[in-house]
Chain A
Amino acid sequence: MNRTFHLALPDAWSRLRFAVLSLITYAYFYQGADPNQHSRIFLTDALLRRSVDITPDHGYTIDKSFFHERFLADKAPGISALAVPIRAVMGWLDRLVGAGTAVDSERARMHFLAIVLCGIAGVVSTLWVGDIVESYGANRREKTLSMVAYGFGTLVFPFSTVLFGHSFAAMLILACFRVVRGDFGGRLSLRGRSALFGFLGSLTIVTEYPTAVMIGVLAISLVLGRGGKPSRAIEVVIGGALGALPLLALHAYYLKVAFGSPFSMPYSHVFEPVFRMNHDKGLLGINLPSLGGIYGISLSPYRGLLFMCPHLLLAIFGFAYWLRDGGERDLRLVATLLVAYLLFSSAYYAWDGGGSTGPRHFIPALAFLSIPFFFFIRRSNWHFWLGAALAALSVFFMFTSTAVLVHQPEGEVFRSSPLYEVILPSFFRGELALNTQDVRTLGPRADAAYNLGMLAGLKGLWSLAPLAVLWLGAYLSDIVRSRTRGPAEGGPTRDPPASEVTAR
């Protein structure tokens, strides 16, 4: 009935092929530098020097805190800390091959860290999204579409190409979700599973502080379990605390060394006056949820998720189908996670993420929109194809944003449309990799960002051709087979009811 079934993922080999191609695609784009990435990499370098002081480099970033006459990173330290061993090995290799501090070497280091930490995280969370929808009864084509739509049709794509914490946090949140569902640690005792949750949850929080909201919701869900017995709650709390303790203690030590107290958060010491002005309001810049923020994050042409990733509109329909089909428990959890995070994000003064593609703070929650998206596309063939068409549009928007400029300009929420004002016109003119902020460089450089095709001397849109060749080449045999054999394995199977699948 449907030839695309052969393009789906039949086995471990296909899974590996998809993962490798996805990682190459993420690695293909180098987005240059920015204050956020600078702040993280400077902390990594400081940690390598057994310090937390980024004063020697602070001039290159405006994302910094100031405490006791020292400049410090204002970001959650998770990504920076995880980069330390990688950076140490890179330093050893640098010395081996004689790489210096030339700007090309600095770019290569930043690029490599982004691939290892954020690119791989993006790929892993994409694969896990596939696993999750499969557990709800997705057949191969539905699983493939869900994965492609998530990995390349949401903000996960652009933010898997930069050294921000969002992609990594998204992977960790999914891991926590899978622990709660019993996918991970299912054979462990409840206390053991809770300890695993505690460890992953604490790692998520120290990677991106705002994710504490979702970790809290997931923790409550784990505590309540199916029965909500008091003895279960005690087990979960003890296990969770034991699991979280090592990382939270390390984090507290970091805060003590850097900011004088284990409870003194980096954002309470931001240096730049304009940031300080906003962070001084509410709780570190977090106030009550705002309608403007909710509109901006969801619908606006400025940063709206549903505007930039239109297939996610179908996730709302999917929620309705899911509710009608009786998947209350998981639905309640997923909906609570999304609503809580939306309200939280809209309450933050910088809900737009500054110079960003879409509302980047919302990335850790995006996987939870993939589940209701699946509940839409599974309804019928035309539901599937509508989903595929909108997902293709989302992939196009995300691809062009990644190729042109991830750091999309700030503007007015009701007027600006960076997609139509900057991204698409530039893309069709063949103007790619527009970011001019370079690593460890003051002021702009026209060559600060690039893609690998440009490095090979290809100009304009031709520089993207190798990616197309790569994907086509990798799937050529499947395409040929599908045209010669016609419909075969992998066709739509009758999905088990969601309620059966979710009753784990």
Chain B
Amino acid sequence: MKKIGVRILFGFAFLATIYVLYAHLAGVRAARHRESSVGWTTRFSEPAAFVSDFTPDVTPDFHVEPRVGSLFIQRTGRVGVPGEGHAIYRSKPFHFDGGMARLRFRTRQLDDYDVLLGFESADRPDKRLWFVMRNDSQTPSFQLEGTDGMLGPTPAGDSLLQYVDGAEIIRGNDEWHTLGVRFEAASQQLQMFVDDIPVASRVVGWDGGIAARIVFGVRDRKDSEIGVEIGELNWDPQEGREPIRLPNYVDEFVGGRLDPLRWHAYFQQEWRVDGSLRPYETGNGLVLRGRGLQQSAPGVMSPVTICTLPFALTPTRVEVDWDIDTLEHAAIDMTIGNLNRTRWVSVDIANDDKPEPYFVFRGQEDRNIDPTVIDGPPLPDKRTHLLLAYDPWLRSLRVSRDDHEIFSHRFGLQRNEFVRICVGLQVFPEGKAEARLRRFYLHRAPY
């Protein structure tokens, strides 16, 4: 009996040792790849090298020519079936542990076709992530196509994963632009950029450590005239390994000015609502004013909102000082959420059917989070200091008012997910609001 026990222990110990050794070797290998991988840039100045490095998938109606440092892709004929023509190139397989790919290009024709950049599994090309700019005669739109996760059968049919809002970045034709996709293996996230501006992120469920290819190209949609010049394709396995670190800042809106490197302002452009932003007359601060028009249909409107630029989420603290002048059937809100608006939470100072303003917590995570009225004393002098702290490691959101915590919530925004923080007004048709934003403090931990 003792002998059997000894043998079992030795056997288990050997197996455990082998497994732990393997796990460490795999860890070292993955870490070395992550830390020492070298990127590359193709500028198409050497056609022979381009031909050897990339595998083409080009239908006969396309003409592709590398010359004078660019790759010219044109559609010269017709295949007869609209939407089937394409010129797509795939890099050689490489060890994929995350990194960033960029495609610099310009469109020469306004028509219905797509420019795409993405990743494909080398072993299973049906597993892919393509960031697509859908060009057309008006404003281009963006979308992510492919598959969430790397296992199981790939569903047939539409491979659209999500629409991406980046239209405002590209305004005209014949301008140089950049598409960017970054994959982070640790958080299994794909992040998308237009002209290096973060526009969306998504947990795609891909793993690092696979063999993958970079894919780029042009795809016809409606038997279109196509002319695209691709200036550069870049792959950097190091870039973006750390979160995007926008500087922390305190903004007191001196002179009422909105710094374009920090803020975007949004006004609801509708006849049924009126919103404005103006500097505070006798000191620092920004006055937000909005009102609904009585005649309009019921519903909440957002006359004016200002949002930070998107950033990759790390533990974040936001402090806001408000002086509330008027608040009737309206709310002042502070929101943190991802760019797709699939996960967001908001703390509102509302005044609808109660005599005094009160605090409301609401949001969305897969489904709407039931609004919760937060109990607390009335606002002294209608002046308040709000603090919102979110830690993606702990998934913990905490809200403090005048240095006392009033609410906490477990929430699913992930580390490095692209988010932005917005403050603004919301009004009902009969409502009006005016408040001075005295101070806004944004602090994000580096990690």
Contact = CB atoms under 8 A, between A and B. Distances in A.
A436 interface: yes
B443 interface: yes
Contacts, number: 123
Most A CB contacts (10 A, CB to CB) among B20, B23, B318, B445 go to: B20
B387 A409 contact: no
Nearest to A408: B393
Interface of A: 35, 58-60, 62, 272-274, 298-301, 304, 306-307, 310, 313-314, 316-317, 319-320, 323-324, 354-355, 407, 409-411, 415-417, 419-421, 424-426, 428, 431, 434, 436-437, 442-446
A314 B395 CA distance: 37
Contacts of A425: 31, 34-35
A444 B27 contact: no
Interface string B118-144: 000000000000000000000000000
A416 B27 CA distance: 10
Given A62-B396, A299-B23, A420-B30, A316 B13 contact: yes
A171 to B, nearest CB: 28
B316 interface: yes
A59 B398 CA distance: 8
A313 B17 contact: yes
B410 A436 contact: no
B394 to A, nearest CB: 7
Given A35-B394, A355-B394, A320 B6 contact: yes
Interface string B375-388: 00000000000010
Contacts of A319: 9, 13
Interface band, chain B: 35 or more
Given A320-B13, A324-B2, A59 B27 contact: no
A323 B445 contact: no
21 contacts: A62-B398, A62-B408, A273-B410, A298-B16, A306-B16, A313-B16, A316-B16, A319-B9, A320-B5, A320-B10, A407-B393, A410-B393, A417-B23, A417-B30, A442-B400, A442-B405, A443-B318, A444-B314, A444-B316, A444-B391, A446-B446
Interface string B22-58: 0110111011001100000000000000000000000
A26 B75 CA distance: 69
A412 B17 CA distance: 22
Given A272-B410, A299-B19, A313-B16, 14 more contacts: A59-B408, A299-B23, A307-B20, A323-B5, A417-B23, A420-B27, A434-B447, A436-B447, A442-B398, A442-B405, A443-B443, A444-B314, A444-B389, A446-B446
Nearest to B392: A409
B219 interface: no
A35 B446 CA distance: 20
A420 B34 CA distance: 10
B236 interface: no
B405 A443 contact: no
The 8 closest A-B pairs by CB, nearest first: A59-B405, A443-B317, A443-B389, A444-B315, A420-B27, A444-B445, A316-B13, A320-B9
B221 interface: no
Contacts of B415: 409
A407 B445 CA distance: 15
A301 B23 contact: yes
Contacts of A272: 408, 410
A419 B207 CA distance: 17
Contacts of B389: 442-444
A35 B24 CA distance: 31
A417 B443 CA distance: 28
A59 B415 CA distance: 22
Contacts of A424: 31
A63 to B, nearest CB: 10
Contacts of A324: 2, 6
**Residue from the set A58, A419, A426, A437 with the largest chain B CB neighbour count within 10 Å:** A437
Interface string B1-19: 0100110011011001101
Interface string B410-424: 100001000000000
Interface string B64-85: 0000000000000000000000
A355 B391 CA distance: 12
A442 B317 CA distance: 8
B23 A307 contact: yes
Contacts of A320: 5-6, 9-10, 13
A463 B316 CA distance: 27
Contacts of B19: 299
Nearest to A411: B186
B354 interface: no
A299 B20 CA distance: 7
B63 to A, nearest CB: 45
B444 interface: yes
A317 B316 contact: no
Contact of B393 (A323, A409, A415): A409
A319 B446 CA distance: 45
B404 interface: yes
Contacts of B404: 59
Contacts of A298: 16
B400 A421 contact: no
Contact of B445 (A313, A415, A446): A446
Given A59-B408, A313-B13, A442-B405, A323 B2 contact: yes
B201 to A, nearest CB: 18
A59 B396 CA distance: 12
Nearest to A295: B19
Nearest to B318: A443
Contact of B394 (A62, A313, A419, A421): A62
A96 B340 CA distance: 55
Contacts of A420: 27-28, 30-31
B273 to A, nearest CB: 33
Contacts of A59: 398, 400, 404-405, 408
B443 A415 contact: no
Contacts of B31: 420-421, 424-425
A310 B20 CA distance: 8
Contacts of B410: 62, 272-274
A273 B23 CA distance: 35
B13 A317 contact: yes
A89 B343 CA distance: 48
Interface string B303-339: 0000000000011111000000000000000000000
A62 B399 CA distance: 12
B16 A444 contact: no
Contacts of A316: 9, 12-13, 16
Given A436-B445, A443-B387, A306 B6 contact: no
A272 to B, nearest CB: 6
Nearest to B185: A421
A442 B393 contact: no
**Residue of A298, A299, A320, A323 most packed against chain B (CB within 10 A):** A320
Given A323-B6, A444-B443, A444-B445, A307 B24 contact: yes
B31 to A, nearest CB: 4
Nearest to B34: A425
B207 A415 contact: yes
Contacts of A415: 207
Given A323-B5, A425-B31, A60 B405 contact: yes
A318 to B, nearest CB: 9
B445 to A, nearest CB: 4
A455 B32 CA distance: 32
B274 to A, nearest CB: 35
B157 to A, nearest CB: 29
Contacts of A313: 13, 16-17, 20
Nearest to B411: A274
Q: Residue among B27, B31, B314, B447 with the most chain A CB within 10 A?
A: B447
B9 A417 contact: no
A24 B347 CA distance: 45
A35 B405 CA distance: 14
